[in-house]
Structure 1
Amino acid sequence: MSDSELPSPSPENPAPEKGAKPKSKSLLRSSLLTGSMTMVSRVLGLIRDIVLVGVLGAGGAMDAFVIAQKIPNFFRRLFAEGAFSQAFIPVLSECREKGTHAAVKELVDKVAGCLGSILLLVTVIGVVGAVGFAYIFGYGYADEPEKFSLLTDLIRITFPYLMLISLTGLAGAILNSYDRFAIPAVTPIFLNIFMIAAALLVADFFPNPAYALAWSIVAAGIFSLLFQLPFLRQIHLLPSPRIDWSHPGVKRILVLMAPALFGVSVSQLNLLLDSMIATMLSDGAASWLFLSDRLVELPLGVFGVAIATVIMPGLSRLSATQSGEKFSHMLDWAIRFVVLIALPATLALIILAEPILFTLFYHGEMESSDILMSSYSLKAYALGLFAFMLIKVLVPGYFARQDMKSPVRIGIIAIIANIVMKPIVVIPLVMLWGLGHVGLAFTTAMAAYVNAYLLYRGLRKSEVYNPASNWPKLWLRYGAANLAMVAVLLAFLFFWNLWSDWGVLERVLRLTVVCVVGFAVYLAALFAVGVRLRDFKAHH
């Protein structure tokens, strides 16, 4: 069933009343739909990064731009993709399950008014206090006046994006709750299109290309918000913002959101900490980490976020109707999907780090030394991909039950572990080989495993999640398929090892062959050991 075929709530066609069950899609189909939309966005994002590196290079303006755009993005993930949506969706789902459409509309209106007022205040603080943010997040640039001034300007320009994209996130959370996953999934495409256009068409009209890119981010935020509004109107939930802090739903969301502000964004805090420390390392360190992070984000964003986005409304509804066994089955399905995707993605990124980076970024202002340094941190970050994806699907297991405290407590432990590990790992790497950025990436990956393990253990101890009995057999099957893929990739690299010497077209063709053959071998091996598509079909 497509989005257009889903019924729209209206006075004639109201939202489900108490006891009624919303129509559901196959989890697999919904995840593939969201993943495919997100894949388009991520591929465009990769093209965007290739263009940025070609225009800005690694170091200097690129370092400043990376830090500047991470600040509103960090807050965006707190408000839009993180704490807010994780607190809002369970409350909205409960209201939809047990109340009328009028009650849902009232909740949406008052949440929009309250959230909008907070975002406006934070945005004003960000614009006015840009110098302070520059000192906090770019402390290492304080003794480089030109770079620090550029960073301050870029923060001031891009900060309003926080408000725009967070309101877009509110719209997306509403649409996701009504199983309209495609529109929120396609929206991030616009940011990439605007930035690519700015880099290629208008960058030369600015004193520094970074300014053009910063303004394109704001323009994309405006367009993304306007794009989603007609679809909210279709389901009769276009917000008419009203500020009412006393509304029970608003109060409940605030109670749930306060701890979730921290708990859901632990990995983002760790990545932001990496960027802050990177400003104190060698010139280009922030750029090297950025490129590594972007490549790890590709499978994480396409599959991890897609699965989490799809299961969150379903888990919330199952929690509201106290369907414990189905709740556990849905989590088990999500974890199986993560293992299927994350293990080969992790191994492929580690093995193909240099070929991928040389193919995508070795042009324009980029030096071969920058590629090599980026490959080291990519391998380190990639070690944590499995954990990053697990966190994406385990956290909703808590938030869907409106348990915000447990992920916060676990998140604090993970951040402390990260902070403790950093000097132990980073300092020797800096002193011996000048590879401090690799230590930053590695400790962030290891902290993610601490986080994922504790989240998993908590769900098991509370008996919210009970794994299916066939997991030992599944691990053997997945392990065999991954070994087959690794053998093929290593064989290719043994014979094809001159990536820095080949031209762009030859690199692209060879990498395409490696990836296609590796993926085909993985699929064939899965089939050979008995894994079938029907194993991943589930309904909520």
Structure 2
Amino acid sequence: MSTNQTPRDDAPVEGSAHVVDRHKGLVRRTFLVSGLTLASRLLGFVREVQSAILFGATSPIYDAFLTAWRVPNLFRRFFGEGALSTSLQAAMTEADAEHGDLAGRALFRATLRVTTLILVGLCAVGMAIGLFAPGLAESGLFGPPPGSEAVIELTVRVLPFLVLVCVAALCAGALQVRGEFLGPALAPVAMNVVWIATLAWIDWQHAGDDHLTQARLLAGGVVLSGLAQLAIQLPALRRMGLVGSLPGERPPVAAARAGIAVLSASAPFALGAAAYQINVMIDGLMAEALIAADGGPTAHYLANRVQQFPLALIAIAATSSVFPSLKALGHLNRLGELRSLHDRTQLAVAFLALPAAAGLAALALPISSALFEHGQFDANGAARVAHALAYLAAALPAAGAVGLTSRVYYARGDLRTPVRISIAALVANTVLNFVFLRFAGMDVDGLALATAITAWGNLLALQPGLTRGLGLPAAQAGLTRRLVRITLAAALSGSAAWAAALATAPLNDGGGPLTWLRLGLGVAAGALVFAAAARALALPEWGLIASRLHSRR
């Protein structure tokens, strides 16, 4: 049965190989997802720049908004990039392979119903707690700590986004299983467009209002952006036959139970697949609680947003594209192909992530100044962002590799190992945060350093289990040598970018055209040196790019 047609009751059960066959064209699909992810991230930068201009670098209200936003945003990271959608993809792939696409459709719809009910309940409870918290504080019994009123109010206002983004993530996961990646990739683009429009409207109509009023309006725009993220996927859901009723269709009890099982399985996914995102949230909450100077959460958030740009464009896009294939190969016990796909994807991600990390570290200050040093956001705020970004750059390759390696475990049905390692990473991250902030006297850069250390520790702990625990073949011959050569090329690239930034330091004009020129020269120097080094070291990834460019010419 074609995956572009609505399933029928009398359709035969396909052979299990169709769950692999419909994911052909991996390179083309990855480029599609990466291209739309690039558009989304560029729009995300526009929204962050708008926010920085509007609120500045030391606004306690914007600190409060970002702290409130981290609650639904953590769920977005879990479900959009890991837990619930990954769990659904695993279960839906098995249902499609063993019982046909109608069984997969029933599983998706049952999971959607159960999830929506639970999320609405959680949202209602969270909003009720937030609404009653000020009254409890006034009664003298217990309540929020002093100064947290804005955080609580704004959290209540953005909580409905949690329901919308989780439902949208479920829909995206189901579409990806069926080989449809356009709608899911467009969803974050729609979210950012609505967010940017909200900021523009606030700046146009409410520029003279206080920051709390502006933050309240922005919270409303966040909820609208969640609606847009869900609505843009509806056409693809209809086209794939995942929504809408079929003649005589009844939701089977088995599918409802399987839907609950998907939710149960998403709990370990949340820790295993999104440990890095949990670490980032812990950093943000500790920045609000432990850093005395205003602007700590803002500086850490903006540095993380910059670091997330290459992470999402390279690693998350590749992982999202390849996971359905990993799960299908793991389910069919084709272990050699599973290991090969993992290794090839890791090398491709490393080829892009390592030079990106070197460039972010070398050009942290020009990047921060060019993006954020405008309006109420001053040079001190830009420098604070740059210090955190330099350390977060070191976490980029490891964070991307952890996401892919964890999904190999999930493809083989092992949920426990990534969870155990993730819990250890969470504990280590929290301890290191206290050490760096309280005893080493560091600022937001201490939080970023802790994240980098735990990300690499997580990756190193996962690697041995691929062969010992999962029974996969050993890594392909020459894998380590290729990684060393990519690392060398990236180091040379970062050195060239740093030298260019140092030589052009007099051009810095506080976020103006000369700063952008300085940044462009640094990026160009790093890119040229990396290309030359990749060619000199005969990296196969560079040869593939060169051959494709030559064939297109």
TM-score, normalised relative to structure 1: 0.90
Q: CA separation of 1:155/1:391 partners in 2, compared to 1, >3 Å: closer, same or farther?
A: same
**Structure 2 residue ranges without an equivalent (≥5):** 136-141, 546-553
Q: 2:339 aligns with which of 302, 308, 328?
A: 328
Kept in 1: contact 2:64–2:151 (CA 8 A)? yes
Match of 2:217 in 1: 212
For 1:446 and 1:354, locate their aligned partners in 2 and report how far apart those are by CA, in whole Å. 22
Matched, 1:20 2:27: no
Give the superposition deviation at 1:249.
Answer: 2.3
* SS of the residue 2:261 aligns to: helix
Q: Equivalent residue for 2:449?
A: 442
Cα deviation code 1:13-56 (max 9, x no counterpart): 95861333233323322222211110110011011101100001
| Distance in 2 separating the partners of 1:367 and 1:15 | 64
The answer (yes or no) to whether the contact 2:534–2:542 under 8 Å persists in 1 is no
Q: 2:233 aligns to what SS in structure 1? A: helix
Is the contact made by 1:87 and 1:253 (CA closer than 8 Å) also made in structure 2?
A: yes
Match of 1:66 in 2: 66
Contact 2:508 2:518 in 1 (8 A): no
Of residues 180-189 and 34-43 in structure 1, the stretch that sits farther from structure 2 once superposed is 180-189
Aligned partner of 2:219: which letter?
A
Deviation at residue 490 of structure 1 after TM alignment: 2.6
1:535, CA displacement in angstroms?
7.0
Gaps of 5+ in 1: none
| Equivalent-residue separation in structure 1 for 2:42 and 2:89 (angstroms) | 28
User: Alpha-carbon deviation of 1:385?
Assistant: 1.1
Matching residue's letter, 2:356: A
2:254 corresponds to 1:253 = no
**Residue equivalent to 1:40:** 39
Go from structure 1 to structure 2 and tell me whether the alpha carbon gap of 1:503 and 1:246 turns closer, same or farther (over 3 Å shift): closer
Residues 169, 465 of structure 1: CA spacing in aligned structure 2 closer, same or farther, 3 A cutoff? Answer: farther
C-alpha change, 1:28 and 1:140, in structure 2 (3 Å) is: farther
| 1:171-210 CA distance string (max 9 Å, x none) | 1001111121222112101221112111112344365221
Distance 2:268 2:315 in 1: 22
Which residue among 299, 307, 316 is the counterpart of 2:318?
307
- Aligned counterparts of 1:36 and 1:519: Cα–Cα separation in 2: 19
The one-letter code sitting in structure 2 at the alignment partner of 1:142 is: P
Out of 533, 541, 548, the residue aligned to residue 525 of structure 1 is 533
Residues 140, 279 of structure 1: 8 Å contact kept? no
TM-aligned CA deviation for residue 423 of structure 1:
2.6
CA distance in 1, matches of 2:134, 2:274: 21
Contact 1:312–1:396 (Cα < 8 Å) also in 2: yes
Q: Give percent identity, aligned residues only.
A: 26
Cα pair distance change 1:429/1:16, threshold 3 Å:
farther
Q: Aligned to 1:25, what secondary structure does the other structure show?
A: coil
The Cα shift of 1:422 comes to 2.5
Q: Is residue 2:468 matched to residue 1:478?
A: no
277 and 473 in structure 1: CA distance in 2 versus 1, 3 angstrom threshold: closer
Q: CA deviation at 1:141?
A: 9.0
Structure 1 residues 533 and 387, CA gap change in structure 2 (3 angstroms):
closer
CA separation of 1:439 and 1:502: change in aligned 2, threshold 3 A: closer
Please tell me whether the aligned partners of residues 190 and 228 of structure 2 are also in contact (alpha carbons under 8 angstroms): yes
Question: Quick check: 2:157–2:219 contact (8 Å CA) kept in 1?
Answer: yes
Q: Which moved more, 1:242-251 or 1:273-282?
A: 242-251
The AA in structure 2 aligned to 1:276 is L
The answer to whether 1:143 aligns with 2:140 is no
Alignment partner of 1:496 out of 504, 514, 538:
504
**Equivalent position amino acid for 1:447 in 2:** T
1:283 is paired with a residue whose SS is coil
1:48-95 Cα deviation digits (max 9, x unpaired): 101100001123222011111111111233344321112111110011
Task: Give 1:298 shift.
Answer: 0.5
Report what 1:348 is aligned to. 359
How far apart are 1:235 and its partner, in Å? 0.9
In the superposition, relative to structure 1, how do residues 134 and 308 fare at CA in structure 2: closer, same or farther (>3 Å)? farther
Change over 3 Å in CA distance of 1:113–1:133 after alignment to 2: farther
Paired residues of 1:56 and 1:209 also in contact (CA < 8 A) = no
Q: Alignment length, in residue pairs? A: 523
Alignment of 1:112-511 (within 5 A): 112-130=112-130, 142-144=145-147, 148-203=148-203, 204-205=205-206, 207=210, 208-238=213-243, 247-280=256-289, 281=291, 282-430=293-441, 435-462=442-469, 463-464=471-472, 466-498=474-506, 500-501=508-509, 504-511=512-519
Measured in 2, the distance between the counterparts of 1:502 and 1:246 equals: 58
